[in-house]
Structure 1
Amino acid sequence: MSLTGKTLLITGASRGVGKAIALRAARDGANVVIAAKTVEPHPRLPGTIYSAAEEIEAAGGKALPVVTDIRDEESVERAVEKAVERFGGIDVLVNNASAINLSGTLELPMKRYDLMQQVNARGTFLCSQKCLPHLFNAPNPHVLSLAPPLDMHPRWFRDHPAYTIAKYGMSMCMLGMAEEFRDRGVAFNALWPRTLLKTAAVDNLLGGPEMSARGRYPTIVADAAYAILNRPSRECTGRFFIDEQVLREEGVSDFAAYRVDSDLSEDQLQLDLFVRP
């Protein structure tokens, strides 16, 4: 398996899971377009498109940081144009950028509802639409979205219906586009973590270090994404993957290296909120 010379456009790649996927690809010498908004360090969320680019280059890849607001059509078009101008095409799109708010119906401000819809569902649709003309020319084109498996059980909607609707919008884009473009050979898949991940967002905004200590490092998602993106696009499409499941399919059976707290057992880890026990 190798992504050598392939060009990946990754939204939200300045930190967290997006950057982890970028760094894994960079180890093969891939070209990575960092399509994100952060140009100045956030007080609680470290990392910018420029610091991520430095890490990608240090890991062996070629980086192109592009200031991108995936809510804005012209901004996405510019990012795609710059990617093609610099690297000659696009082989992979990773829809990683996401907005989260777990408030219930009565507590959620409508501007936050709109933000989640614009970034998650609409952003995924928009980025996929703009990359497709170039993906058609790639030898093994993939679109991978960090989105949960579709499950209409009320338990996934009860506590945060707005967020679930927004994330399921990403999932439905993958489901629908997989069929729409099956004959064109472009793979559309979703990937989701089995457990909570240790990211700056969780540490600073969504529970704190004590919560993230019960999870895994984002490298597990990056390794799973790497495996998916190396599979033949015509044979691997329309699927909802869980990171651990993917790696087991690749022959991995020991996940200790991914655990934040090595003293915890696997069954003590905190499952992600869209994963059944």
Structure 2
Amino acid sequence: MPLSVGYDRGIDDEETHDEPASAEAVSIMSDQRPLADRTLVLSGGSRGIGLAIALGAARLGANVVLLAKTGEPHPKLPGTVHTAVAEVEAAGGKGLAVVGDVRKEEDVARAVDAAVEHFGGIDVVVNNASAISTEPTEDLSAKKFDLMMDINVRGTFLLTKAALPHLRESPAAHVMTISPPLNMNPYWLGAHPSYTLSKYGMTLLSLGWAAEYADAGIAFSCLWPQTYIATSAVTNLASGNELVRRSRSSDIMADAAVAILTKPAAEVNGRTFVDADVLTAEGVTDLSRYGGGDDPMWDIFLDKS
């Protein structure tokens, strides 16, 4: 299992003999790797959007701790938490795999403790793990309902709560939740009420924490894709090939995420973002690099004007 660990908030004995970098060199390195020495804990990062965000952070120098259930290969989906860590390290970051279930308090505590033990603290939490089931209410089983609430809402609560004491110690603390803006359009309320409840619950927690911890210097934000994202889960749908053709790559979420994570807390706290809007604000005028064709499939919860 690829694993690289270290105490990036300290200096070991050998490093004290190195010549100090010039102020100009430090500035250049900081500009190129603005997440260097920051530790990110992310749930559900074996593949898809979570892995893309982990890699985006790793390219900017972050330490990445991945909490995911896939310690062994999934029969239908590529990648495990261990292969994800290997990719993180290949991208230039330091990685640590924690096999666990975000629904279980003890597993979440183990991931948080591991991040602190190996990297000295926690600067960023990304609540990415999520379950979806969009059957009509009369067809939706209680088991699936509970699964969505447990992973989406409970998991977001558990991971954020466990990390908060350490986030308070960070000079650049941020909690990002992959959930949508609150859209009260009756269409979205009625399309899949139970799934909507779980995802809006994630957003409400984030907005609530932004208010609750307004004086703590911790940024709380949400990020959502403007269009479908070409993940393995989308590929496995009945109309997967057509959906993938009209989906953007997960890189757009990664680029938007790191753009938000590298901003001051006060600038992003209590906000819900859409990936394309973030990049447009950053001066990216051509989104074709992310795929999706001329008419990409708009994601749920967003009204296409």
Amino acid at match of 1:171: T
- After the TM superposition, which residues 90-239 of structure 1 pair with which residues of structure 2 at under 5 Å, given as runs? 90-205=122-237, 207-239=239-271
- Compute the TM-score of the two structures, normalised by the length of structure 2: 0.87
- After the TM superposition, which residues 17-28 of structure 1 pair with which residues of structure 2 at under 5 Å, given as runs? 17-28=49-60
**Matching of residue 269 in structure 1 with residue 296 in structure 2:** yes
Give the Cα–Cα distance (whole angstroms) in 1 for the partners of residues 249 and 147 of structure 2.
27
Moved segments of 4+, more than 6 Å: none
Amino acid at match of 2:77: L
Amino acid at match of 2:285: S
Give the Cα–Cα distance (whole angstroms) in 1 for the partners of residues 135 and 258 of structure 2.
33
Give the Cα–Cα distance (whole angstroms) in 1 for the partners of residues 52 and 141 of structure 2.
31
Task: Give the alignment partner of residue 254 of structure 1, picking from 283, 286, 291.
Answer: 286
- Per-residue Cα deviation, 1:31-58 (whole angstroms, up to 9, x for no partner): 0001111011111111100000111111
Query: CA 1:240–1:42 in structure 2 vs 1: closer, same or farther (change >3 Å)?
Result: same
- RMSD of equivalent CA atoms: 1.0
Task: Give the alignment partner of residue 73 of structure 1, picking from 81, 86, 105.
Answer: 105
Q: How many residues align?
A: 272
- Per-residue Cα deviation, 1:55-88 (whole angstroms, up to 9, x for no partner): 1111111000001211111110111001100000
**Matching of residue 42 in structure 1 with residue 74 in structure 2:** yes
| Deviation for aligned residue 1:206 | 6.5
CA contact (8 A) 2:183 2:302 kept: no
Amino acid at match of 1:164: T
| Deviation for aligned residue 1:153 | 2.0
| Deviation for aligned residue 1:159 | 2.1
Q: Secondary structure at the match of 2:102?
A: coil
Q: Which moved more, 1:73-82 or 1:198-207?
A: 198-207
Q: Secondary structure at the match of 1:166?
A: helix
CA contact (8 A) 2:256 2:276 kept: yes
Give the Cα–Cα distance (whole angstroms) in 2 for the partners of residues 20 and 182 of structure 1.
29
The runs of 5 or more residues in structure 1 that have no matched partner are none
Aligned to 2:64: 32
Q: Secondary structure at the match of 2:97?
A: strand
Aligned to 2:4: none
CA contact (8 A) 2:39 2:65 kept: yes
| Deviation for aligned residue 1:235 | 2.7
Q: Secondary structure at the match of 1:188?
A: strand
Q: Which protein shows a greater Rg?
A: 2
CA contact (8 A) 2:108 2:159 kept: yes
